[in-house]
A and B are shown apart, each in its own frame.
Chain A
Amino acid sequence: MRVVIAEDEALLRQGLELMLGQAGFDVEAAVADADELERIVAEKNPDVVITDIRMGPTFTEDGMVAALRIRVNHPDTAVMVLSQYVQRRYVRQLLVPATGGVGYLLKQRITDVDAFCENLRTIAAGGTALDPEVVAVMVDRARLSHDDVAKLTPRQREVLTLMAEGRSNAWIANRLVLSEKAVVRHISNIYEALGLPVDADDHRRVLAVIRYLAG
C-alpha cells in the first residue's frame, strides 16, 4: 500500500516513516507542508495520505484544508488526518463529499502501531476511522439534543459508538462479547430508532450514522 506522509515536525515525520516501513507500507514521500503535500499527491496518486492539521505555510489549519481538497480532487486516495485535538466540526467537514476512505485520529494514536495500521487499511478499503474521543463527544451531544438517541439502550449506544469509530461488525462482536448476529440485530434496531434508511453496504451505513451524529 502506497502512503504519503505530511508532518512538519521532522522527528515525528521520520518516526512515522520508519514505523510504517517496518509495518510493510510503502512510503512514497514524506513532506513538511501542505502545498508540497497537494503537489506530491497529484504526482504520485497514493493509496493513503496521512497529514497533520497544523503545518505550513500558515501554521493554522493548512493540513486540514489540503486534506479536504484531496478528498474532492483525488477520490481514490484515502485521507487520514492526525491532530493534537479532535472535534466534531472537522468530522462534519471531512464528510463532504459523503464518501468513505477517510480517518480522523488523535496524533498519539500512531503509537499503538497495530491499531493504527488497521485503521489505515480500513480507510484504504473505503471505510472510516474516527477517534473514540470525538465519537464520544458526538454521541453524548446527540444524547442530549436528540430524543431518538436518548431512547437507545446503553448496549445500543455502545454499538452505535463503535460503529461510528469505523469498527467492523466482527470487531464489535469480539469487543462486546456478542455474536455477530446479535450485533447485526442491534444495528438494525438502531437504524429503525434513528429513522435512518437501511443500506446493505456497510461503509455507506456507517457514513449515514456519522453524518447523523455530526449534526
Chain B
Amino acid sequence: MHVRSPVAYSLDHALLLIGATGVVLAVGFLALVLPRTSIGWIYVLAVIIFWTFLAAGLLAWHRRPSNGIGVLIVLGGFALYLGILADTGVPLLVVVAEVCATLVLAVTVHLLHAFPSGQLRGTFSRATVISGYVVCTVLQAPHYLFAPHNPAHSLGIVDRPDLLNLGLWVQRGAGFLVVAATVILLISRLLRSDATRRRVLVPLFGYGIFAILFWPVGQVALAGVPGVTPLLVVLLQFLIIGGVPIAFSLGVLRGGFARTNELQELGAWLGTAGSARPALTSAVARTLGDDTARILFWMAEREAYVDASGVPAALPAANSDRAWVTVELDGRLVGAIEYDALLIADRRLAQTAGRVVAIAVDRQRLIVELLTSQRELRDSRSRLVLAAEQERRRIARDLHDGIQVQLVLLALQAGQLAHAAGMTNEFRRDATALREGIDSAAGGLREFVHAVVPSTLVEHGLSAAVEDLVDRMPVPTTLELGIGDESLPHAIESAAYFVLAEGLANTLKHSHATTCAVRLNHTDGWLHIDVHDNGIGGAAFDNGVGLSGLNDRVDALGGTLRLTSSTANGTRLSAELPCG
C-alpha cells in the first residue's frame, strides 16, 4: 500500500515549478542564441543535455525526497546552463558564463563524493569537494582575465597569453589533484562495500571520473588528431557530461534505492487499519529509503536484541557501514532500527522514524517474544526426543555388546559340556537342555533389543529396516521405496520406522485387512511415509498409547502425523518428517 501525505504533494508541486522554470530558461536561451549562429544544432543539443540533468535530478528528488542526490543533479543542470550562456551576447550573461564555464565538473565531483546519501562524509571528502569548486571557479580566472582580446571575453583585463598558459596549467594541476583525491576516496569506499552495492558503484564511479577527466584531457588529446574539429570536441564533451545525470539517477533508482516516504507518511501508515498495513519493517525501510534497514526488538528478560523471527541479533560495530538508533516508548527500551550509514547520513531521520513507530514496535516485540518462547518450547521438546533416541541406541548397544554376548558365551560353554568326554548321556542331555534354555533367553533379549532400536536400522539404515518389516507381514503388503540407502538423521529414521511399525501392527491387530500398502518418499527435505490397508477402519489416536505417543514424537521433531480411518476406505497412517 502506498501512502502519501499533503507535504509530499506540496513537494511535487515545487518540483514541477522547477521543471517549468527549466523549460522557460531553455526557450529563452535558444531565442537569444539561434538568430546569432549558423551551428544552432549544437545549442539545441546543449539544451537537451540541460533538460536531461533537470529531468533526471527531479525524478531522483521526487523518488527520494530526503536524499540530496536529486538536488545535486538539478544543480548540475543549472551549472551547465550557466556555462553555455556565453554565446547569448548579453554582457551580464557572458560574465556569468565565463566564471561558471566548468562549474558542472565541480558538481560532478560533488555528486561522486555525496553518493548515495547526498551528504558529504568526512573532512577529507568535504575539503576535496570544496577544492573542486575553487578549481572550477577561482582558478578559472586566467581564462577570462588574460584571454586574447575578444569581444566575447568581456572580463579580459590584459592580453597575456603567457599568463593564460600558466594559469591553465595551474588549474589543470590542481584539478588533477582533486580528481586523484576523489579516486583514492572512492576506491577506499568500494573496498569497504559489499558485492551487491559494488555492482552499482563501480560503473557509476568509473563513468563519473571518466566524464570529469575527458573535459580537460580530451580537449588537449584530441586537438592534434587529424579530422577532429573543435566543434566535434565540444560535441563529445556535451554528450559525455550528459551521461552523468543519467548514471546518477539510475544509481539512485537501482541497487535498492527505492522511493522514500516522508515521516508524515509513516504516521499515515500507522493510522491505516489491520491487514491492509504493510509490515512494520518494510514501512520503516521505505521511509528511510534503505531496503536493508531492519527493526530489532529488545527482549528485556534476556537483555538482548532479536530480529523479527526471534533470532538473536547483534548490533553493528561502531565504525562499520551500518548504524543504529534505539527506539523507546515512555522511557522504556523496546527496540532498535539498524540501517545503512552510507545511505542515511542523518541519524535524526532514523530517530524520528523510531519515535513515530515506537508503539507499533512494542506491539510487534510482544508478538516476537511469544513466537520466540513458542520456538524455544518446540526446540526443547525436539531435544528431549533426540536425547531419548540417543539413550535408546545406547541401551540397545549396551545390551547387544554386554548381556547378549555373555548369554551366547554361556550357551557355548553349555554346548561344550555336552560334548565333553567321559560324561554320561544323562549329563549330556541336561547340558544340551541348559544350552537351549540359555539360547531361548538370548532370543528373548534379542527381540527386546530389536523392539527398542532394530539393529537393521543401526546397521543398514531406514530402507533396509522397512524392507524387513514388510517382509515379515503375514498379509500381502506392497512396498514403494522412494528412498535409497542414504543415511538420515537418527531420530528421524527411528521415528519413521516406528510410525511404519505401528501402522503395520495396527493393520494386523484390528483391521481384518487383506492387503496393505507402504510408501516412503524423500522430497524437498521431507520424508513422507504412508501405510494404507483395506481393512474395516476404526483406528483413532485416543484408543492406543502407541499412536498418541508416536504423534508426540513426530510433532516434537517438527513433523506431522495423520490418521484417517473408515469402514469404506480402511485405515491410512501417514507422516511427514523434516530431514533437511
Identify the A interface with B (CB < 8 A). 9, 11-12, 15-16, 19, 22, 53-54, 60-61, 64, 83-85, 87-89, 107-108, 110-114, 137-138, 140-141, 144-145
Contact (Cβ within 8 A) A12 B416: no
Chain A residue nearest to B418 (CB atoms) is A113
Provide the residues of chain B in CB contact with A54, threshold 8 Å: 455, 458-459
- B278 proximal to A (CB < 8 A): no
Chain B's interface: helix, strand, loop or mixed, by majority?
Answer: helix
Known: A87-B464, A108-B443. A137 touches B476 (CB 8 A): no
| 27 A-B interface contacts by CB (under 8 A) | A15-B408, A15-B412, A15-B413, A16-B412, A19-B412, A84-B455, A85-B446, A85-B450, A87-B471, A88-B467, A89-B460, A89-B464, A89-B467, A108-B411, A108-B442, A108-B443, A111-B412, A111-B414, A111-B415, A111-B439, A112-B435, A113-B415, A114-B419, A137-B472, A138-B471, A140-B474, A144-B474
Interface of A is mostly: helix
Q: Which residues of B contact A141 (CB under 8 A)?
A: 471-472
Closest residue of chain B to A89, judged by CB? B464
Cβ–Cβ contact A89 & B468, under 8 A: yes
Residue of B with least CB distance to A61: B459
Enumerate chain A residues within 8 angstroms of B446, measured Cβ to Cβ. 84-85, 108
A-B contact count (CB 8 A): 89
- Determine how close the nearest CB of chain B comes to the CB of A106; give it in whole angstroms: 8
Q: Is B401 an interface residue (CB 8 A)?
A: yes
Inter-chain contact B408/A108, CB cutoff 8 Å = yes
Contacts of B415 in A (CB 8 A): 19, 111-113
Question: Are the C-beta atoms of A87 and B467 separated by less than 8 Å?
Answer: yes
B456 contacts partner chain A, Cβ-Cβ < 8 Å: yes
Q: Taking A87-B471, A137-B472 as contacts, is the C-beta distance between A15 and B409 under 8 angstroms?
A: yes
Residues of A within 8 A of B412 (CB): 15-16, 19, 110-111, 113
Q: How far is the CA of A88 from the CA of B468 in the complex (A)?
A: 7
Can you name the residue of chain B whose Cβ is closest to the Cβ of A115?
B415
Measuring CB to CB, which residues of chain B are less than 8 angstroms from any residue of chain A? 400-401, 404-406, 408-409, 411-416, 419, 435, 438-439, 442-443, 446, 449-450, 454-456, 458-460, 464, 467-468, 471-477
Pick the contact of A53: B443, B449, B459, B474 (CB < 8 A).
B459
Instruction: Find chain B residues with CB under 8 A from A12 CB.
Output: 405, 408-409
Task: Report how far A89 CA is from B457 CA in the complex, Å.
Answer: 13
Which one of B400, B443, B449, B455 has the greatest number of beta carbons of chain A within 10 Å? B455
* Residue numbers in B under 8 Å from A110 (CB-CB): 408, 412
Residue of B at shortest CB range from A113?
B415
Query: Closest 9 CB pairs between A and B?
Result: A111-B411, A87-B468, A144-B476, A61-B459, A85-B455, A113-B415, A9-B405, A111-B415, A15-B412
Minimum CB distance partner of B468 in chain A: A87
Would you call A144 and B408 a contact (CB within 8 A)? no
Q: How far is the CB of A49 from chain B (nearest CB, A)?
A: 19
Query: Nearest B residue to A10 by beta-carbon distance?
Result: B405
CB proximity of A131 to chain B, nearest CB, Å: 12
Contact (Cβ within 8 A) B435 A111: yes
Could you say which of A9, A89, A113 contacts B401, with CB atoms under 8 Å apart? A9
CB nearest neighbor in A for B461: A60
Tell me the complex Cα distance, A61–B457, Å. Answer: 11
Q: Report the nearest B residue to A23, measured CB to CB.
A: B419
Nearest CB of chain B from residue A22's CB, rounded to whole Å: 7
- Residues of A contacting B454 in the complex (Cβ-Cβ under 8 angstroms): 85
